[in-house]
Structure 1
Amino acid sequence: MSQRAALYARVSTARQEQEQTVASQLEALENAATAMGLTVPAERRYIDDGISGARLDRPGLDALRDAAADGLIDVVLVHAPDRLARNYVHQVVLVEELTNRGVHVHFVECPATERAEDRLLVQMQGIIAEYERAKIMERTRRGRIHKLRAGQMLPYSSVARYGYPIERSADGLRRTVVIDEVEAQHVRAMYRWVREEDLSSRAVARRLNAQGIRPRRAARWTEGRVYGVLTDPTYTGMATYGRRMSVEPARPKKPGSYRKHLKSSSRFRPKQEWLIIPVPPIVDEKEQAEVRAILARHRWQAPRHLKYDYLLRSLVVCGECGWRMEGHRQAPRSGVPYEYFYHGCRRRLAEVRGHDKRCKAKYIRRDELDAVVWDALVSWIQPPEMLLQEAEAWRSSRAGEDQSRRDRARLESAERKLQTHVERLVDAYQAGAISVEELKARRDRRRAPPRSSCCRGAPRATYPEARRADF
């Protein structure tokens, strides 16, 4: 009986996706499968394009794990361990889970056997790759900050803010930021419309689109782009670097969907961490301060502001496109002498939100939706048996959470100790203080079963699922 094979390939960035890196991985995997006498059907090719390997919730990887759980595959071919996961702990979790499902994981670049030396090589490659990646990121960050402070680098990677093109010197070694007078006139017009006509950022975006004025790298202006121009200190002559940092979104715009980047949101860093680089100003600080005050007043007076009560705020999801719906207020007007509140999809205003298509989902009245949800909750909690069952389930879940918290703490402690040990070994190896044989000997002395050291008490059959839920 022939083995049922599958392929898994992944690239981290959209640039790698455009450069056909996935195609090269698939070609190498198919050649390896042919050499092993395996046939891989089209439905068993799992690919994650442009998704970071630092996270485990990837659509292709989840499909692979589900197929393994259903017993549909016997062997999976991966180009290298870092294609399966960037984090060494994640690699161990995935390989152990697939192995427990009866699936053999075959790495094309470094095929592992049952020999202890081969397993050591794969493990050391994964740990060293993670260590070097962290070191490269830190050195790149420090080098970029040093060049910015020395004036050898601009605060923009390739594209400057709207109104500020970048000019290169004749030899191509130096770059300077100048003012584009045509775009600068549009920027000044935005500020003038807000100060003199009291327009909102959404109204400014609509006017720019109606006049046929396009941003530099998009088809139309959106309220977010306009708000950025009206509040960015760059336009007052103070370009900033490191003003924002990437974070995981607390409330994703499209809950339940896969995100290519785990930290797909951002937040401001403390002002003392910003780097200020002087550039030619387009407006003065007084004008921007007035505009900021007007926008703050608009935000307070907006119909969707928090001063109105919505029982299901940020919990209603559009059934058409899956995006979160916003709370809105309809003020009294001709024909409707009363106000009412409703939930609307974010994608209905496609022309100022940057979407290609307008969502056709209808508005939902707040009072009607609240009544339906409230009646369902009341009917659900009225029977005393239901309350007793929920109380018992809550106590059980708290006990399980406490155990999971302790297991996670042990796992994180073991990971920190392992990272420290690996850094010391790598430094000693790079300095020539120890050899490969001594590395193996030290590894054998410190070798301990991971279950007993950091996950004691977890049943072996359910351990992969528990680890999958944690990550």
Structure 2
Amino acid sequence: MEKAETSKRVGIWIRVSTEDQVRGESPETHERRARAYAESRDWTVVEVYRLDAVSGKTVKDHPEAKRMLEDARKGHITGLIFSKLARLARNTKELLDFADHFRTAGADLVSLGEAIDTSTPAGRLFYTMVAAMATWEREEIAARVAASVPVRAQMGKPLGGAASFGYEWKDGQLVVNDKEAPVRKLVYELFIEHRRRKTVARILNERGYRTRNGSAWSDTTVERLLRDPTAKGTRRANYTQTKSSNGAWELKPEDEWVLVPVEPIVSEETWATANSILDERRVRGTRQTKPVTHLFAGVAACECGHKMYVPSNSPKYTCAKCRNKIPVKDLEAIFKEELRAFVFSPEEIFDHVQAGNEQLNSFESLISSMEAEHKKLTGEADKLIELYQANLLDKGGFGQRYEKLRARLEQVGEELPKLQAKRDVLKIALASQEEVLSGSKDLVERWDTLEHPDRRHVVEAILDRVVIGNGEVEFNFLYNPGFASSSNSQSHRG
């Protein structure tokens, strides 16, 4: 069964240009349609962001856009509804930035025109595609920059960033800084003597030495300087890169490094001695730890209502309150069997999708009919006004006939957005269901070959929780296609 979303707080984004308003696309129409969609999902509209008569060329610096992004960051809104992607931003880079911002904030984007709702499985593909596009864009820029780095490094040119402590850039060359070099040398001497980074930092601070920015010395600063080969006369360049997954730094392959000789502060022997001590202490301090994330961590619950976890000294999910237990391997085996109930034949998938499409076509016909009526009523009202202005219709006759047209126009204006919202909900649901149904069979067949992180991802995507009782296990799935139970149970004795 789908998880209730009554607590979801959403904003509505409305950007209608002057040209759009000339064509009759009023901001009020877009807002009514978005509100109807939110109401159909039991979501609460808490904010409306309006950018009237604003071009989509760039909107990120608009006050309303900044307010919207800040609300998403703070969690004030957990979703944003808009009529089309082009209404959010026509600038591709800004669209990628918006999507990345919402993904980071754990918030959803809902585009009614493109049937994208990132709170659904199919909609989450949008985030995946956006991330891929953003990565490609960053890599293109990075590749152009990286191409010039080795050449500049080999020429000894600065590549950006500050010089290592003990050195300074002068006339484009890295040279020894007479004030900092003695302190850099002292760092090595103290470490070789005391063999502890914290002790070195404490002694430097007690003697009144400070880092370049005036901060106190720390053990991490000490190790960073000890590891840096610049002090022994070898400056490294082009040796790090940014991980695309999390933005952290990592070393490049050594054959890509550029090593440039500079004036040393300490001898190679002194540098090697200090680093061998660091290596020795690191090996001694390394501890082997077991992965702490189990497949059903966070979703396994006891029938008494308490969460169940796997203690470090046990191979079983355990309830801390009533001591109810189930072996880790048994629970995964039962889950695998339950997945089979999540698999549907191609015929079932086809029948379900076809039934949904027939219902969707019915909605489309009703909407087209109502839009045609709205256009006809508007034309009749305009003609009526022309007749009155030409004195071909008296005031009494005009008022009676115009009031009927106005009342029906208002009624259509209220009903049309609601009908469109129902169509939007169905369209998005069908896209999501088709993906889940089609992918479920492949999921079961590949289950035994999946790595643990991939299995965990599957559990998070389709399982709300698993309840372990006395002799039975009940899996509550997040998704119910309409013709299969979403809350299956299978007994387990042991």
TM-score by length of 1: 0.45
Larger C-alpha radius of gyration, 1 or 2?
2
* Bigger strand share: 2
TM-score by length of 2: 0.43
Q: Which has the higher contact order (CA 8 A, sep 6+)?
A: 2
